[in-house]
Amino acid sequence: MSLKKAGLIVFLILLVDQCTKIYIKTHFHLNESIQVFGLDWFQIYFVENEGAAWGTKLPGEYGKIALSLFRLIIAPLIGYWLYKSVKENAPKLLIISVSLIFAGAVGNIIDSLLYGVFFESSDNGNIASFLPGGGGYESPLYGKVVDMLYFPFIKDATFPSWIPFLGGKTFTFFNAIFNIADMAISTGVGMLLVFNKKVFPKTENA
């Protein structure tokens, strides 16, 4: 697989990721949701998070900046892995997987690095504008990641009473809210795990 094709995958993922994030950020109130095709289990639900993929948050005052710096360090390493894989004519599945992971990582870096500078805050029922006259809501590296894809397949279900600690409590499956970048990362990692033998073929000893 050529570097050009890998680059096209990265570009398309980033394009869709950023277009959806910018649209949601500039058209939705924070925590506003709509049902897609009238389906209760498929919603566009606008939230922002300061943490890692799938809304995971690092504790402490410096958790956010530590995560942003980690992303800035790890993304070039993934990019180099992608470049090296193409040049060494690695299996196509490996190149596609790494392309997805790289695109997802860069997509969320853009949010952390630039969204706080270029957008208004979405707090207090405000619909954010791009390049506000009073400046953005945060300094670089402190921007919040925009999430919007929500698939609550099972809502307000109750654990059976016989389950220890959880019996009688309600739950929602699947309650994570995520974005296209998160999806790309998860898909890429999933492909590496599922097709492990194909993406990392063993070389036979001569």
Alpha-carbon distance of 117 to 71, in angstroms, equals 18
User: 101 with 9: CB under 8 angstroms?
Assistant: no
Kindly list the catalytic residues. 147, 182
Cα atoms in the Cβ-side hemisphere of radius 13 Å centred on 120: 18
Grouping H, G, I as helix, E, B as strand and the rest as coil, residue 184 is helix
Q: Are strands 145-150 and 170-173 parallel, antiparallel or unpaired?
A: unpaired
- Per-residue pLDDT at 205 exceeds 60: no
Q: What is the pLDDT of residues 47-58, one digit of tens each?
A: 998 765 555 566
Question: Which pLDDT band, with edges at 50, 70 and 90, does 73 fall under?
Answer: very high
Question: Which pLDDT band, with edges at 50, 70 and 90, does 206 fall under?
Answer: very low
Alpha-carbon distance of 18 to 24, in angstroms, equals 10
pLDDT value at position 5?
A: 96
Interhelix angle 3-27/63-87, rounded to 10 degrees, is 150
Q: Indicate the domain borders of the chain.
A: 3-197
Cβ neighbours of 42 (radius 10 Å): 14
What is the average pLDDT across 141-157? Answer: 90
